[in-house]
A and B are shown apart, each in its own frame.
Chain A
């Protein structure tokens, strides 16, 4: 596309008027209302700052652990506090730092990198942030009440299901983290839709920034990795709260199911953490090599390949559980294979550096130093991926050393590189080169001194998670050295913190794009909140290098959407492959509703932890009300005019529905994640079938009639929804409402029939795992039916309020899409629980 663009130059007055209007629309509120902002720059910054604070907190816990282990027979921490400290250290680093920091960076950078004003669902980002912050404070705070989780960050039953041992800590872990997982999935939805649909016109998939490619893959991985953990959390919490025996071997349960569900999440998570960090490197390396990346397609290969292969590795955490050796061998093979794409990206970076003229800056120092550390961790990873070696090293400090080399080299160092690189976008000033270099060498030396000896002490047999050890077995010197190294490393981190926090108002401001980078995020001005002054047409992978006058034309408002004539926050929606503009999207502005929704949802999880049932119900109702209010006031708004002149002689529709709308994509992606959680529950059902001779253990099932009736009613309800969409399309509101009501009645009947099966057969979920798993499947399905009824009622209300018609039918399309997923869920659930016991 090299269509010639005819710029129209405005007078200085007109331009100023546009700028004033844009500034007003995108203004950040003042006073306490500052916190109601939903703009991506604020949310990204808060997200990042919160994640960083959690990281420092978890770092202090690690130092406590190291002090305790410095000398043999130490009494600095009690065994129980030690258990809490290392559990919380791992949990916080993984769930409250490593994953959220990438969401933070993505939310902060992506809009300007893609040349968009905003991501498509800014309020969802805000909701995610507040959920994360509240959940994080809840989980971290527990240690001050001596109530932190204490069974290790992967919470293995039966230790973690033992209420005497784990107290309330396990509940705090399960519920607090489930809440944070909601935030991660919200971010995934936001990022996928943003990257696919909100790129600047002309930014085809072959010239999209590599950061966006990585983030697209990572967000997809979140969608398939986090839901199994949510399913696991549900089973776990049902056991802890109501004594349903999912992991209790005496009553047919199996602790191994938790290990499967946890690691189906846990292993991809390592790559969910690693890929965004390497994505930052993919932006830094070309800048300092002063040339485009060598092997763009190879990076795409690596990102996609790693994303897929990482799902075939989970059992390598379970090599010592006695699974059939041929099963172990499959996972061992896949674990070796994943080294190929991982290696490819490192070679691409090396090739780019060799082909360019390298400027050795602080970000490069952290980046390359980190990759060197990561390569060592990767090589020990190849070692522990071999079953016989793993049997020797399993649960020793060798594994502790390996995982810290991978995570600190593959994630923490590149993130610090990113902080040094992107800091001018936050503050218009660079961080100190001198402090940066000092920090790097202290951290690099401290890290290796702390963690390298752990390989050796691990090979000498020191198990992880012991709170102390005897003096005469050859572990003491290694541990002392590790502790010294840990404190040196921490000193390096402190230098970074000082550099970030020290006042810089005396330092002169840098020009825009101080590193002379080529990618679009560097056009954004730290003082302005609007993202880009006008949305450019992109024709290169490195537009700032290759498109002359780009910056000037953007800032002169010569491109798309240079004003905000209707007083709404707007951005462009473009097509997936070629980024052709297809819609002018109105996005949500500042609102307190997202905060209310997040805090009340947090209330639900916190109240559940303490079994305050009335508070739980109250908070749940409040959450529902806040979400409905949020949807009602700010989504699927019917614009006054159908089209909007976006400049350069182009007119775009303001309202789209179905697959052309971002809302439909949001629903589709959310339901893909929801479907994965459901599939994980069904995996549980069949898992119990495989491990037992007779998985019903003689207990009565739900019968055939009720489940099949439920499946039939749900199918009819789905057909009624299809009918509703059809009659709505021909603008017959009366018929539409009737069809919606009919469908709601059928759904209600389907829900009742679904419950009737297990209920009327007197299935007792505490007696054995078979009734328990049937109940869980039925309740999951019925709960989704209930949400379906709420959606139908919402459509009905929209129709009655005159907000839904044949032309403006976004709500209807999205609800029908939900129903496609629901009918598959219902037919599978009731088909399986009804028929499988008979045919197996």
Chain B
């Protein structure tokens, strides 16, 4: 069994990083929204929820790193420089790899941005 997936040729791999960002964002927002309306009196505390969301964040970051690694591999581990504008399948793959790698970077930073409130804010309405 292989640990990492085989190389996929599809337009959709481009969106992996941003999709992980979107899911992470939604999980954080929905969890907090429901907690602050409903679970104030519930079985777990804000600190516990915060911890859970930090774990979700780490998971999301790990997913983005994985997608970045796959993109790096598709980009030939940086063997060629952009612009990747030759009319060949190879250059198309290199372009996809590079663009995916860039998007993974942006998504990583964006997930970190969204995670900052989890570190700094200790209650629904501090």
Contacts and interface: CB of A to CB of B under 8 A. Distances in A.
Interface string A284-302: 0000000010011110110
B126 A297 contact: no
B74 interface: no
Contacts of A410: none
A304 B18 contact: yes
Contact of B87 (A204, A311, A312): A204
Nearest to B115: A333
Nearest to B14: A304
B101 to A, nearest CB: 9
User: Of A1, A304, A330, which is in contact with the most chain B CB atoms at under 10 Å from its CB?
Assistant: A330
B124 interface: yes
B73 interface: no
Nearest to B22: A308
A633 interface: no
Contacts of B121: 325-326, 329
A540 B124 contact: no
A690 B110 contact: no
B36 A324 contact: yes
B119 to A, nearest CB: 10
A205 B95 contact: yes
Contacts of B99: 297, 300-301, 304
A312 B85 contact: no
Contact of A324 (B19, B33, B87, B114): B33
Counting contact residues on chain B (CB < 8 A from A), the size range is 35 or more
B121 to A, nearest CB: 5
Contact of A312 (B14, B15, B114, B123): B114
A305 B106 contact: yes
Nearest to A332: B117
Given A2-B87, A304-B14, A539-B87, A324 B113 contact: no
Contact of A330 (B28, B34, B106, B107): B28
A309 B38 CA distance: 28
Given A312-B114, A324-B125, A296 B34 contact: no
Contacts of B21: 308-309, 312
B34 A304 contact: no
A336 interface: yes
A577 interface: yes
A143 B116 CA distance: 48
A508 B94 CA distance: 46
Contacts of A604: none
Contacts of A309: 18, 21, 110
B102 A297 contact: yes
Contact of A205 (B33, B83, B92): B92
A308 B95 contact: no
Contacts of A367: none
A337 interface: yes
A327 interface: yes
Nearest to B11: A576
Contacts, number: 139
B7 interface: no
Interface residues of A, number: 46
A476 interface: no
Interface in B1-54: 9-11, 14-15, 18-19, 21-22, 25, 28-29, 32-34, 36-38
Given A324-B36, A327-B36, A202 B110 contact: no
Nearest to A687: B33
A257 interface: no
Contacts of B83: 292, 296-297, 541
A201 to B, nearest CB: 10
A324 B32 contact: yes
A295 B92 CA distance: 15
Contacts of A206: 84-85, 91-92, 94-96
B88 interface: yes
Interface string A309-326: 101100000000001111
A538 interface: yes
B103 interface: yes
A577 B95 contact: no
User: Of B34, B98, B114, B124, which is in contact with the most chain A CB atoms at under 10 Å from its CB?
Assistant: B114
Contact of A578 (B25, B92, B114): B92
User: Of B10, B107, B113, B116, which is in contact with the most chain A CB atoms at under 10 Å from its CB?
Assistant: B113
A692 to B, nearest CB: 9
29 contacts: A1-B89, A2-B88, A196-B11, A205-B11, A205-B92, A206-B84, A206-B94, A295-B82, A297-B82, A297-B83, A301-B102, A301-B106, A304-B15, A305-B110, A308-B19, A312-B21, A324-B36, A325-B124, A326-B36, A326-B121, A329-B117, A329-B120, A329-B121, A330-B28, A333-B113, A333-B117, A337-B109, A541-B85, A577-B10
Interface of B: 9-11, 14-15, 18-19, 21-22, 25, 28-29, 32-34, 36-38, 82-85, 87-89, 91-92, 94-96, 98-99, 102-103, 106-107, 109-110, 113-114, 116-118, 120-121, 123-126
What 7 A-B pairs are tightest by C-beta distance, nearest first? A329-B117, A206-B95, A308-B18, A539-B87, A324-B124, A301-B102, A324-B36
Given A297-B83, A337-B110, 16 more contacts: A2-B88, A204-B92, A206-B94, A207-B85, A292-B85, A295-B82, A301-B102, A304-B103, A305-B18, A305-B110, A309-B21, A326-B32, A326-B36, A326-B117, A330-B28, A578-B92
